[in-house]
Amino acid sequence: MITTLETIPNEILLMIFSHLSWFELVMSLSSLNKRFDRLICSILSKIDNKSNNGLVIINPGLSYNKCNSILLPLISNPLLPFASCIRRIHFDGTICNAADLSYKWLFDNDKKILHFPNLKSLILTRCLLVEPLIKSLPILIKYQLDELKLTFDKDIITLLRYPNGLSAMGLRTEKLIMLEELILKLFSNQSRLISLQLDIACDDSYANLHRCLEPHITLASFSIFTRRPSCLTLRRLYIHIKYTCFLERLIEYVPVLQQLSVPKLESFTLKTSVDNDSEFAYLKWILNNLNHIKKLKIHLKSDALYETSKAIWKSVIDANFIRRYCLPDEAINLRNFDFYIFSKCKVPMIDIEEIINSFKIHPFFVDHQWTNIKCFFDSITSYQHLTSSLNYTPRFSNCLINERNLFNWPQTRYVWMNLQPSLYLFLEQFNELFPNVSCIKLHMGQYITSDNLQFIVSEMPFENEKCRLTDIQLRNVTRLDFNPYFDRTSVKNTNNFFFQGNYDESIDRIKARAKVLAHLISMPVQLKDLRVYEFEWLLHVVQYAFDELRKNALNTVQYAEFRIPSCHRGSNESIRIGQNLVPFLSTYMPNLQTLHLWRIDDFPWTSIRPDYNKHIYSYSRLVNQWYKSLQTSESVVQHVAVFQENLSHLVKQMKELIFLDIHGQIHKEKVEPYRAMVQTLFPYSRYHIEILRFRLWF
């Protein structure tokens, strides 16, 4: 008897389909028959944040052209049922093309309609909000959405403040003002949202997003504030903020939060630092204004005790402390309370058993059956950790940098670690201690002396019979960051001698680091994302520790990010490092899809600067003359040709590459020539070229 795919029951087909991504389902199985289309619709129509269902535009393998030219026409085809069944969409800016895709996917500009009439949940993570999207989101929150999640990071705020990569100190850009008005509308009577998650923790004193709820003198804003409208539908609110004054204005601006007889908000989460006693008083005021909520989650931290205004933090942090400062005076409807307190404390004050027992005898916690409290004191850092939930007790916290997240280990997605001899003890238990961690960020100790680095390496059991680093396999880790400090500020502010290649490391230090990197890179079963502080470190791994590197350990890498030294300044050796880039990638990372480079100056990674003898007295003068000549028309033409050769070589050797992202800094005279060259070389590709950034979607 021959069994065809069509004869398989729906239940089994759904189990099979669950192993495919949504775009694999749509591209492979849509339009085969109505039954398959209905099954695909049943999968796409689910709203489940934990499973991340619906349309999820976060896969690095989704190129801009595939999304725009293939998937969108399929999904929005009026002859197919998919568009009407989509209820949840998630765009993630980490794939870099989501900024433009988000608007084009949501709205049909020609027909002036929404592609997905039943869309209820929209998640925008690290997306640079393009102007049409900022203008259109208020329509969605007024008529369409039940749930909205907006998450911004430091890079997004910087791009909103400096859209052209140029400083505009004190000036409010149009997009930033539009974003402020959008936040206003999230809490106004123009919103029908039931659930809102807003992350503006990257806000700073120049962006001033935390002040957007304050009264303004402009006519447009004044008319809004004089009416004091409120969002009457909001039930779940999650806010991640840097400045707590945002909450004060929020409660004033949304008076429904103070109407205790008509409670709408059911869940409230606050993760913040409390620096002094006045902020504790402010926290208490907030909690008393939210005393009708059913679920409360409080995470507080404090770092130092020397200020005279920290009398509260100097008291014993036990049940009385939690009841007095971390809960409303009257918890009317509270059913679920989760807390985590991370604080610096004095060693003589800590009595772990007494603190735990205080919850077992306190009437409030006994009545609510919230007595299963965990407490841990880190004697190395003198920090106390107090939490309502803990599954694992830390043993080697001197390796951890983000130790303030100890009590979230089962849920955390990444960990920061120091390079310490005891690191292997963590790695031995890693799969059990961190079952959900997919990313390890390791501080390599850039300023550790060669002797100390040698000692650390000598203490790590590379070949110990009982425990060998070569035997450790990390099942769930797919991303490794070594000294993960990639941002424009650090590129500009880091000592020039380091980036110019004049920082001479000892050969012993280089070999020791290469050995550690080789072993750590070999541990993940399937490494997909690798971010290394310096590209040269990878060259050292191949040169000095190749035998320690697991065969094909880098073969699965799809995303790579690292720095490459200047091609104009520095030693003759350092400016030539970039010429090894493409040969290395094509040999060890043939499946690379995204390449992210950080430069101190120009975008090309190979140099045409003549070799200068650094021992002659005129060396500095010759280098400076060369650098000044870069703005001449002749030099611009030469570097356009060099960059064209770099890009052609890269594309020819890296068949899977779909996105190139370079942070650097070029003279304004090069912007248009680079654009013209890219348009000629890649006529069907998408590009974005500015003074400080080069992006190309192949």
For the cut 60, the answer to whether the pLDDT of residue 168 exceeds it is no
State which of 151-165, 383-397, 429-443 shows the largest mean pLDDT. 429-443
Per DSSP bridges, beta strands 113-114 and 267-273 are unpaired
Mean pLDDT of the chain: 76
Q: Of the given ranges (162-166, 303-307, 334-338, 554-558), which has the lowest mean pLDDT?
A: 162-166
Rg (CA), the chain: 28
> Rounded distance, CA 210 to CA 417, Å?
32
> Rounded distance, CA 378 to CA 359, Å?
21
pLDDT at 463: 53
pLDDT at 394: 45
In three-state form (DSSP H/G/I as H, E/B as E, the rest C), the secondary structure along 416-469 is EEECCCCHHHHHHCHHHHCCCCCEEEEECCCCCCHHHHHHHHHHCCCCCCCCCH
Mean pLDDT of 532-552: 92
pLDDT band at 306 (very low <50, low <70, confident <90, very high): low
Q: Of the given ranges (35-49, 263-277, 449-463, 470-484), which has the lowest mean pLDDT?
A: 449-463
Q: What residues pair up with 100 in beta bridges, in sequence order? A: none
Outline where 234-333 has alpha helix (H).
245-253, 277-289, 319-325
pLDDT at 275: 78
Q: Are 255 and 216 in contact (CB under 8 A)?
A: no
pLDDT digits (tens, 9 = 90+) for 392-405: 444 444 455 454 44
Q: Are 481 and 439 in contact (CB under 8 A)?
A: yes
Mean pLDDT of 443-468: 57
> Rounded distance, CA 221 to CA 217, Å?
7
For the cut 90, the answer to whether the pLDDT of residue 519 exceeds it is no
State which of 240-244, 468-472, 622-626, 643-647 shows the largest mean pLDDT. 643-647
Mean pLDDT of 503-509: 73
Residues 70, 72, 78, 80: what is their CA dihedral angle, to the nearest 10 degrees?
70
State which of 67-71, 176-180, 277-281, 365-369 shows the largest mean pLDDT. 365-369
pLDDT at 166: 46
Distances (CA, A) of 664 to 300, 384, 686, 690: 38, 42, 19, 9
Q: Reduce the DSSP state of residue 344 to 3 states and report it.
A: strand
> Rounded distance, CA 520 to CA 545, Å?
12
Residue 553 gets which letter from DSSP? T
pLDDT digits (tens, 9 = 90+) for 184-214: 788 777 888 888 888 776 655 555 665 666 6
Mean pLDDT of 334-342: 89
* Whole-structure pTM value: 0.60
pLDDT digits (tens, 9 = 90+) for 586-615: 999 999 999 999 988 889 998 888 877 766
Residue 611 gets which letter from DSSP? P
pLDDT at 159: 59
Of 675 and 202, more confident = 675
Q: Is 357 exposed, middle or buried (0-12, 13-18, 19+ CB in 10 A)?
A: middle
For the cut 60, the answer to whether the pLDDT of residue 467 exceeds it is no
> Rounded distance, CA 224 to CA 240, Å?
24
pLDDT at 112: 67
Distances (CA, A) of 296 to 47, 280, 366, 490: 24, 17, 18, 38
Q: Of the given ranges (62-66, 165-169, 223-227, 456-460), which has the lowest mean pLDDT?
A: 223-227
pLDDT at 498: 34
pLDDT digits (tens, 9 = 90+) for 624-668: 777 777 778 888 899 899 999 999 999 999 999 999 999 998 988
Torsion angles phi and psi, residue 616, rounded to 5 = -85, 155
Q: Enumerate the domain spans of the chain.
A: 443-697
Strands (E), 205-335: 236-240, 267-273, 295-302
Helix axes 633-653, 581-588, angle to 10 degrees: 10
Mean pLDDT of 149-173: 58
> Rounded distance, CA 653 to CA 646, Å?
11
